[in-house]
Amino acid sequence: MVRILIVDDQRLIRYSFSRILGAVDDFVITEAASGEEARALTRNQEFDVILMDLNMPGMGGLEATRRLLASDPRVRIIGVSGYAEGPYPVKFMELGGVGYLSKDASWSDLINAIRIVMRGDRFLGADVAQYIAADLVGTAPGSGVDSLSQREIQVLHLIAAGCSTEQIAERIHLSIKTVSHHRRRLLGKLGASNDVQLAAIACRHGLTDIGAVLLQTATT
């Protein structure tokens, strides 16, 4: 059984989420119309996953997330917002959120996200992954890192993990030729001359952790 709290100030959104997710056999749904109501409910009930709208009147989703995690760091909070880029995704993940989807995501993506965070992993919707990756590394424009695509970050993560070109190709379902192309682009963009230097850059900028999240998102 997965106990899910849906937090959104729009009644129709809550109804839609409850109807779709409630049809999943092992999902048990509770609703809250505000961050304040979510906090009140969590004082008396335990939830496995909280789906948090970030743009709400009163106590917004970011502040509600901060307070809920301060009270119970074990709770898994997934941000669900109309904003795929900008400050919301980055701030939310920095607060300790374990997943983020835009409201344009499919229902299968949302259900998949819940399953993934329940097993202890993180999830980023495909439409926000590239934006949040660029922001989380905190690099200035022109550094090279800020220009990496989602796929290049995945390849860089696997290079840093010590995978060969053949292993990378198998892992992310690309041809060896395509992986070699991505590797050459990484060397050029990052000013590196070999895989050791690429791995060092990845570690220095926190791209190993981000690559793991993007890899999880793409292969699940």
Handedness of CA 92, 22, 73, 46 (dihedral sign): positive
pLDDT tens per residue, range 195-204 = 878 887 777 7
pLDDT tens per residue, range 22-43 = 999 999 999 999 999 999 999 9
> Is residue 71 located within the same domain as residue 94?
yes
- What's the CA gap between 60 and 105, in Å, rounded? 21
Burial class (CB in 10 A: 0-12, 13-18, 19+), 94: exposed
pTM of the model: 0.65
- What's the CA gap between 85 and 82, in Å, rounded? 9
Burial class (CB in 10 A: 0-12, 13-18, 19+), 152: buried
Res. 140: pLDDT tops 50: no
Range of the domain at 146: 140-219
Domain boundary among 67, 102, 131: 131
Total number of domains constituting the chain: 2
CATH at residue 25 = 3.40.50.2300
